């Protein structure tokens, strides 16, 4: 089967102008704008202990009706209990 280009649109397809790389992308600074996340000017930072976190998980699990959130809370509680050798 041969293609007759006089009756088809195949001869009318225009190639796309390919601009990529340094031509189409503006120059960017090195590094991420997210590199300062987690930085603070505070002198005293109080992180929650694992016991506090576990208590918060238990409270949240009891108060929520969302099955997706309950699955997440259950898996987090289970991870901590496995680490402690209780599970």
pLDDT one-digit tens code per residue, 39-76: 778 888 888 999 999 999 999 999 999 999 999 999 99
Query: Which H or E run includes 2?
Result: none
More confident residue, 45 or 12: 45
The pLDDT score that the predictor gives to residue 25 is: 57
The pLDDT score that the predictor gives to residue 4 is: 65
The pLDDT score that the predictor gives to residue 45 is: 80
Provide, rounded to the nearest whole percent, the portion of the chain with pLDDT above 90.
43
Rounded CA separation 23/36 (Å)? 30
pTM of the full predicted structure?
0.52
Rounded CA separation 57/72 (Å)? 10
**Residue 73: how many other CB atoms lie within 10 Å:** 19
Q: What angle do CA 35, 38, 41 make, to 5 degrees?
A: 110
């Amino acid at each position: 089967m041969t293609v007759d280009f006089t009756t088809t649109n195949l001869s009318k397809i225009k190639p796309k102008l390919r601009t990529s790389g340094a031509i189409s992308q503006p120059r960017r600074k090195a590094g991420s704008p997210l590199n300062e996340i987690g930085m603070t000017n505070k002198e005293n930072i109080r992180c929650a202990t694992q016991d506090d976190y576990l208590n918060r998980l238990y409270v949240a699990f009891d108060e929520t009706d969302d099955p997706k959130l309950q699955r997440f809370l259950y898996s987090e509680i289970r991870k901590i209990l496995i680490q402690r050798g209780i599970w």
